Amino acid sequence: MSKKRFVSVWDAIEDTPEKAENMKLRSSLMIALKEHLAGTRLRQAQIAKLFGVTQPRVSDLMRGKIDVFGLDSLVNMAAAAGLRVKLSVRKAA
């Protein structure tokens, strides 16, 4: 029996390379947002107002509920938080 190695956990658990790439981007954005917001000392209600979402939605973000966020909403939240999202595209290995 041989062991298969993966570059990312998403490559191991997602059905397709497309889904894995989407999850990688979403997880990166969520981590960056959580780290940034933790440094602001804002309460979730204040963050929700800044993002134009509900407080439970911010709670989902802070708890890492990746399945309830799309790339669009995460990019919008990052921009509202004063972060700049930069995308890099290159050939797959």
The pLDDT tens digits for 34-54 are 999 999 999 999 999 999 999
Question: How far is it, in rounded angstroms, from Cα 64 to Cα 8?
Answer: 17
From 58, 33, 61, select the one nearest 44 (Cα to Cα): 58
Would the pTM count as exceeding 0.75? yes
pLDDT at 36: 96
pLDDT at 80: 96
pLDDT at 10: 87
- DSSP string for 37-77: HHTTT--HHHHHHHHTS-HHHHHHHHTT-GGG--HHHHHHH
CATH number for the domain formed by residue range(s) 16-80: 1.10.260.40
The tokens of 9 are what?
């956990």
pLDDT at 69: 97
- Within the chain, which residues score under 70 in pLDDT? 1-2, 93
Domain definitions of the chain by residue range: 16-80
